Chains A and B, each alone.
Chain A
Amino acid sequence: MIIIGEKINGMYKVVAKAIQAKDKSAIQKLAEEQVFASADYLDVNTGPASANPVEAMEWLVDTIQEVTDTPLCLDTTKPEVMEAGLKKCKCKAMINSTTGQEEKLNAFLALAAKYGAAIIGLAMDEKGIPQDAAARAEIALRIVTAAMEKGISLDDLYIDPLILPVNVAQPTAGHVLETLRQLKVLSDPPPKTVLGLSNISQGTEERELINRTYLVMAQGCGLDAAILDPLDSQLIDALITADLLLNKNIYCDSFLKAYRKK
């Protein structure tokens, strides 16, 4: 499983404050903590409140890269903010994200091709988030086709079937699992899959329990990557154990520790 750490997001107060005050150490601490907790990528989101998102993105990327060479997953809906971040990235970045809407898709795929970045494609379009698995797969196929036309390797394309809070749209959890299975037979090779995990438990009690239960279910359906909180050690333990049970890693008595050494 590819772990994308979600903590550097301007929606969190501590991050918003740090961006405003140009407090490097607060951001760098979050970066280092997540890397230590097995994050393979760090999500970087300037947040909705940022007055100058281009400048904020550049500052965040520079600040993080001062302390780690872990690749970054740049999280913005604005192409100009995305490009500003991509220019600063020293490692292969991930673009988070495009939708299936044509104009947006073209703009972001062009950026992925130009900067050699991986890209997340959300299974939604101008009509919004689809109701069922078949409609999600249909949009995914559109994104896959467009990516192939742009010469982007399907190893670099991550489809996000879009999970919704379980207390808002309960049937979605099942639709998304079904979509994950369908995506694996969509093309050969298939695109990779990713979920913004924490969304499933938004506004609920027992958030951590819901997150880790759903993550394990999704892993069983072939999920390749998740944007999540790596500092939730029980969540990471569950992720490691599910990978083990799926025979992705060789068992040993200290398998939790072994994964973290990996």
Chain B
Amino acid sequence: MPLELVKEKWTGKINEVTIGATKGEGGTRTSKIVVGGETGLPFLHEEGEMPHRPVVAMEVWDTAPSDWPEVLAAPFKEVMDDPGRWSKKCVEEYGADLLALRLQSAHSDWGNASPEKVSEGVKKVLEAVGVPLIILGPGQDDRDNEVLPRCSEVAKGEKCLFGNATQDNYKTLVAACLADGHSIIGESPIDINIAKQVNILISDMGFPLEKIIMDPTTGGLGYGLEYSYSIIERGRLAALGAGDKTMALPIICRVGQESWRAKEAKAGESDFPDWGAVSERGPLWEATTAVALLQAGADILVMRHPRAVESVRKTIDSLTRKNPLRDSAETLD
């Protein structure tokens, strides 16, 4: 008797969000990325459609990240002080089709750069590469509010994804993104109730839910990842099953930032000789965190190490095949 799979019926659909505008659409990007559109849980191709594969956005900073561990900094050493060259390297050498530019130079501990200065960096990256951009503020409310509107303006028409709006600080960024045609990231502190609230607050300003992406915040593997996992999954169930449109939004996770915080990713071999080579541990920690979040429902993974990026991309390839078991068997032949 053939095995009958139990299939869940879903009625909802996750919004589709486009990042990047080409010449014909009023921007200068050479490509664009669409995320979302799922009508079922991740990679259950028998239950629903997953029209757009999840994507990796490689992280680029607008100032050299002096606190990155050696293993992580090594691939970018030559280009770290120039966001244009760093971006180019990610695209040309590592095949990035989406970049996340972090405006760390605006952080009060990292140089406190002026809006003018910071927006120059944004321009540089836009000129250096043709892929769509995610642009992230330093995460300090006052600095975000000074710097992001100027950056939004210089990127007007490029349909970037700007972040992050939070429950206590969203109005300035929402207004800027509305004026300049960008999408926005709504961030919540590993709290599903606040995640929903942020979406309501942003949409109450007349910003369409269809252009918001949720950052539920995550911990790296071993540091609270499972809380984010449950939150992402519960949000998806509400969106797909109960038709909750305020939760039917694609998800972005800052995988690199959290994974490389973990002691296991960067502690030296002399301190922990049993843990294996530090050159392997970090990229593995980052890739494993990413893959878990993919299974939860993440649509965009912001990542750092080229080897982790490559391995996650391969995982996405195999998971987005319609019949991974059969296809992998064919590969084995």
Is A250 within 8 A of B243, CB to CB?
A: no
Which of B193, B234, B242, B243 sits near A252, CB closer than 8 Å?
B193
Q: Which of A90-98, A99-107, A212-220, A254-262 contacts B (4 or more CB under 8 A)?
A: A254-262
**Residue ID in chain A nearest B194 by CB atoms:** A252
| Contact yes or no, B193 A262, CB < 8 A | no
- B238 and A254 within 8 A (CB): no
Contact flags A127-147 to B (C-beta < 8 A → 1, else 0): 000000000000000000000
Decide yes or no whether B235 CB sits under 8 A from chain A.
Answer: yes
Asked if A262 meets B197 with Cβ closer than 8 Å, knowing A249-B238, A250-B235, A250-B238, the reply is no
Q: How many residues of B contact A (CB 8 A)?
A: 20
Question: How far does the alpha carbon of A261 sit from the alpha carbon of B193 in the complex, in Å?
Answer: 16
Q: Which residue of B lies closest to A248 (CB)?
A: B242
8 Å CB interface, B232-253 against A: 234-235, 238, 242-247
| B71 interface residue per 8 A CB criterion | no
Pairwise interchain contact B200-A262, C-beta atoms closer than 8 A = no
A: interface residue count bin: 10 to 19
Q: Are B197 and A254 in contact (CB under 8 A)?
A: yes
User: A250 CA to B197 CA in the complex, in Å?
Assistant: 10
Q: Does B73 contact A (CB under 8 A)?
A: no
Q: Are B192 and A250 in contact (CB under 8 A)?
A: yes
Tally A-B pairs: CB < 8 A. Answer: 42
Report the minimum CB–CB distance from A117 to chain B (whole Å). Answer: 18
Cβ A261 vs Cβ B238 within 8 A: no
> Which of A249, A252, A254, A261 has the most chain B CB atoms closer than 10 A to its own CB?
A252
Give B239's nearest chain A residue, CB to CB: A250
Contact present for A258 and B196 (CB under 8 Å): yes
Name the A residues within 8 Å of B235 (CB-CB).
Answer: 250
Does chain B have a CB within 8 A of A251? yes
Q: Is the interface of B mostly helix, strand, loop or mixed?
A: helix
Name A262's contact: one of B194, B195, B234, B244 (CB within 8 Å).
B244
Complex contact A249–B244 (CB within 8 A): yes
Contact of B22 with A by CB under 8 A: no
Is the beta-carbon distance between B234 and A254 smaller than 8 angstroms?
no
A250-B234, A250-B235, A252-B200 given; A258·B246 CB < 8 A: yes
| Residues on the A chain within 8 Å of B201, using CB | 254
**Shortest distance between the CB of B206 and any CB in chain A (Å):** 13
Chain A positions 153 through 190: 1 when the CB is less than 8 Å from some CB of chain B, otherwise 0? 00000000000000000000000000000000000000
For B238, list chain A residues within 8 Å (CB): 249-250
User: How far, in Å, is A16 (CB) from chain B's closest CB?
Assistant: 35
How many whole Å from A37's CB to the nearest CB in chain B?
A: 17
| Chain A residues closer than 8 Å to B192, beta-carbon distance | 250
The answer to whether B196 and A252 have CB atoms under 8 Å apart is yes
**CB <8 Å contact, A253 and B197:** yes
Contacts of B194 in A (CB 8 A): 252
Q: Is B18 an interface residue (CB 8 A)?
A: no
Asked if B114 is at the interface of the complex by the 8 Å CB criterion, the answer is no
Interface assignment of B145: CB less than 8 Å from any CB of chain A: no
B295 at interface by CB-CB < 8 Å:
no
When distances are taken between beta carbons in the complex, the residues of chain B under 8 Å from A254 are: 197, 200-201, 204
| Contacting residue for A250 out of B203, B209, B244, CB 8 A | B244
Q: Does A252 lie within 8 Å of B197, measured CB to CB? A: yes
The 8 A CB mask of B201-219 against A (1 = contact, 0 = none) is 1011000010000000000
Separation in Å of the B184 CB from the closest CB of chain A? 17
**Chain B nearest Cβ from A188, distance in angstroms:** 15
A257 and B200: CB pair below 8 A? yes
Smallest beta-carbon distance B204→chain A, Å: 8
Q: What CA separation (Å) do A219 and B194 show in the bound complex?
A: 26
Q: Nearest chain B CB to A92's CB is how many angstroms away?
A: 13
Known: A252-B196, A254-B197, A254-B200. A261 touches B246 (CB 8 A): yes
**What residue of chain B has the Cβ atom nearest to residue A243's Cβ?**
B242
Known contacts A251-B193, A252-B196; A261/B245 CB under 8 A:
yes
Q: Which residues of A sit under 8 angstroms from B197, Cβ to Cβ?
A: 252-254
**Chain A residues closer than 8 Å to B209, beta-carbon distance:** 261
Tell me the minimal C-beta distance from B13 to chain A in angstroms: 14
A153 to chain B, nearest CB (A): 12
In the bound assembly, the distance between CA atoms of A248 and B200 in angstroms comes to 18
Interface residues of B in 167-209 (CB under 8 A from A): 192-197, 200-201, 203-204, 209
Chain B residues contacting A257 (CB-CB under 8 Å) are: 200, 204
Sample 27 A-B pairs with CB under 8 A, ordered by A number.
A249-B238, A249-B242, A250-B192, A250-B234, A250-B238, A250-B247, A251-B193, A251-B196, A252-B193, A252-B194, A252-B195, A252-B197, A252-B246, A253-B193, A253-B197, A254-B197, A254-B201, A254-B204, A257-B204, A258-B196, A258-B244, A258-B246, A261-B200, A261-B203, A261-B209, A261-B246, A262-B244
A-B complex: 3 closest residue pairs judged by Cβ atoms = A252-B196, A252-B197, A254-B200
Q: A250-B244, A261-B209 are in contact. List 16 more A-B contacts (CB 8 A).
A: A249-B238, A250-B192, A250-B234, A250-B238, A251-B193, A252-B194, A252-B195, A252-B200, A253-B193, A254-B197, A258-B244, A258-B246, A261-B200, A261-B203, A261-B245, A262-B245
